[in-house]
Structure 1
Amino acid sequence: MRRLPPLNALRAFEAAARHMSFNKAAEELNVTPAAISQQIRAVENIAGVKLFRRLTRSLLLTDAGQFALPAMTEGLDRLAEGYRAMRRQEEAGVLTVSVAPSLGAKWLVPRLERFRARHPEFDIRIDASDRLVDFHRGDVDLAIRSGAGEYEGLTAHCLMSEFAAPVCSPALMQDAQPLRQPADLRHHTLLHSQWRMQHAFAPNWRMWLKAAGLTDIDAEHGPRFSEDNLVVQAAIAGQGVALVGKAVAAADLRAGLLVHPFGPPTRESHAYCYYVVYPEADADRPKVRAFTDWVLEEAKETEPS
């Protein structure tokens, strides 16, 4: 714990000692000479020493003042250097986006080139993580998360509605026990996303089977994976039937690597939402605004599919 007088008081002392003038210090800091004098008295009272000898037409530093000045000047210079480094980070346009790994790999990353073409001034960083983001500690500018959208102190835009539906390899449609209707799932392995089983808002096999009226199928049995993209890969390999969102499965469905075994899913069932989230105070930052506008446009264009 650093025991220091107020920073403004230290700045007043350093400027006055460097110029040997309250008036010149006041001009540099854009305050009145009386304010400089008041700040210096505050430092003297806290430290318990005199820093200046106030003569009729001049100032003289005391021994304590002379000893402190070089360290104070160096310290304030280092603070200014740190502030310039922060500004360089902002001006360099480094934009860090935290996104859930599956959505990042399957939906966001394939589209990033369009953002870079529109905003070459920003150097984007992708942090693929499901961990909670503390925007006040670290360098994440925005996060994309699924959830309820109620985040205290944060602005949240619904990026796109999402719904979960069964997907599998086309090979399972020609299996000895082909998938034709939901009841056929009793003959196949269910592939599970661990995170779906841990969050109330996320559709999982337990919810899906209950909605389908299938009470004789074990909704807990089968391999479990930490991320949806791992479940998708297992489904592509023919290891079972996965329950995943459209954003994660869309590219593989278009490529024919996956199919919906029970026909096109409806939008109304098993729905939730992805959100773009950032601190309320950052709404007008150019890079935050640019990415938010772009990613919402991307989601709007792909939403109908």
Structure 2
Amino acid sequence: MQRRSLPLSALRAFEAAARLGSFKAAAEELAVTPTAVSHQIRALEAQVGLVLFERQVRKVLLTETGAQLYPVLRDGFDAFAATLARLTQQRTRAQVGISATNAFTVKWLVPRMADFRQRHPGIDLQLQASDEVVDLRSSAVDIAVRYGRGPYPGLVTEPLFTDRFAPVANPRLGIASPQDLARVPWIRFDWRRPHPENPTWERWFARARRRPPAQAGQLRFSDEGHAIQAAVAGHGIALVSLALVAEELRAGHLVQPFGPVIEGHTYHLAMHADRSPSAAVQAVAQWLRMQAVGG
């Protein structure tokens, strides 16, 4: 039997009658007459050429064929009901979309998700990680975390915190002073937009008033998150955001053996200027502010 020819109303009547053991009870559940249920089931039996019920005076019993069909329909209708209920619940729950860079999403936002769920159990976050700038006017994103110095036309922005960079390494490397930079690879990552104030090794050496030693080698990545993971794995020393490695520093997977610390750019909280934020969006924005103050 092809899907398009399935008698859905008759199958629903059969499932209700089989579950309740009565055409009358099935009719009450389906808000039709017992005669209508009986006609639908007879039409189904005629279509498949099989008897599905044994009709008795006060009840109906499934035949062997009906007993094979019933659990399939029961489980199918239960699955339909559960899926529709879940979709309805998702539609009624508040959803807030946040756009941020890959590294910020993975290293700063994700570790804080447990705190968010505890504080706002009725709000679902949709994290959109991308190093491409997302247009808030044509997407489902409600809040963007922008990294840079601005300006950001068409957006209402406020600073969350200014980034700070320092050399970090796996403690197993035994790095204790800048002199050790001559014996371990320097880990670099590429900035998407060249800027004289990007935190680079060259800028760090200028701040430290030191001449760069002969390198033992270097590793270069296109993504800061990958550079961080390379440092955690002990492949060298990386100049990365202290905000993004806060968890690794607390856990002892990385150490900051020496300074100086240099400033990076600023993380900004951004929302569309022409879109009035909902209560849920305002709650998420306030949570981001609180997290930024906490480090």
Specify the alignment match of 1:157 in structure 2: 158
Equivalent residue in structure 2 for 1:211, among 203, 207, 211: 207
Specify the alignment match of 1:131 in structure 2: 132
> How far apart, in 1, do the equivalents of 2:202 and 2:109 lie?
28
Equivalent residue in structure 1 for 2:273, among 275, 280, 284: 280
Q: Deviations over 1:30-71 (max 9, x none)?
A: xxxxxxxxxxxxxxxxxxxxxxxxxxxxxxxxxxxxxxxxxx
Specify the alignment match of 2:253 in structure 1: 257
> How far apart, in 2, do the equivalents of 1:284 and 1:236 lie?
39
CA contact (8 A) 2:205 2:212 kept: no
CA contact (8 A) 2:162 2:263 kept: no
> How far apart, in 2, do the equivalents of 1:134 and 1:89 lie?
25
Specify the alignment match of 1:222 in structure 2: 218
Equivalent residue in structure 2 for 1:235, among 213, 231, 238: 231
1:293 has 2:291 as partner:
no
> How far apart, in 1, do the equivalents of 2:192 and 2:213 lie?
18
> How far apart, in 2, do the equivalents of 1:285 and 1:203 lie?
36
> How far apart, in 1, do the equivalents of 2:156 and 2:252 lie?
38
- Please state how far the C-alpha of 1:121 moved relative to its aligned partner: 2.8
- Please state how far the C-alpha of 1:138 moved relative to its aligned partner: 1.8
Structure 1 pair 149/138, CA: closer, same or farther in 2 (3 Å)? same
The residue identity in structure 1 corresponding to 2:286 is D
CA contact (8 A) 1:182 1:212 kept: no
> How far apart, in 1, do the equivalents of 2:91 and 2:278 lie?
9
> How far apart, in 1, do the equivalents of 2:208 and 2:194 lie?
21
The residue identity in structure 1 corresponding to 2:280 is K
Q: Which runs of 5+ in 2 are unaligned?
A: 1-88
Segment drifting more, 194-203 vs 156-165: 194-203
CA contact (8 A) 1:164 1:243 kept: yes
Segment drifting more, 108-117 vs 244-253: 108-117
- Please state how far the C-alpha of 1:218 moved relative to its aligned partner: 6.5
- Please state how far the C-alpha of 1:91 moved relative to its aligned partner: 5.9
Specify the alignment match of 2:240 in structure 1: 244
SS at 1:131 equivalent: coil
Specify the alignment match of 1:96 in structure 2: 97
> How far apart, in 1, do the equivalents of 2:141 and 2:277 lie?
16
Aligned-residue CA RMSD in angstroms? 2.4
SS at 2:137 equivalent: coil
> How far apart, in 2, do the equivalents of 1:217 and 1:281 lie?
52
> How far apart, in 1, do the equivalents of 2:283 and 2:191 lie?
30
SS at 2:133 equivalent: coil
Q: Deviations over 1:96-154 (max 9, x none)?
A: 11111112112111112222233233221111111111111121111112100421111
Specify the alignment match of 1:190 in structure 2: 186
CA contact (8 A) 1:183 1:214 kept: no
SS at 2:161 equivalent: strand
Specify the alignment match of 2:70 in structure 1: none
Q: What's the TM-score once normalised by structure 1's chain length?
A: 0.61
CA contact (8 A) 2:169 2:236 kept: yes
Segment drifting more, 208-217 vs 159-168: 208-217
The residue identity in structure 2 corresponding to 1:160 is F
Structure 1 pair 283/208, CA: closer, same or farther in 2 (3 Å)? farther
SS at 1:198 equivalent: coil
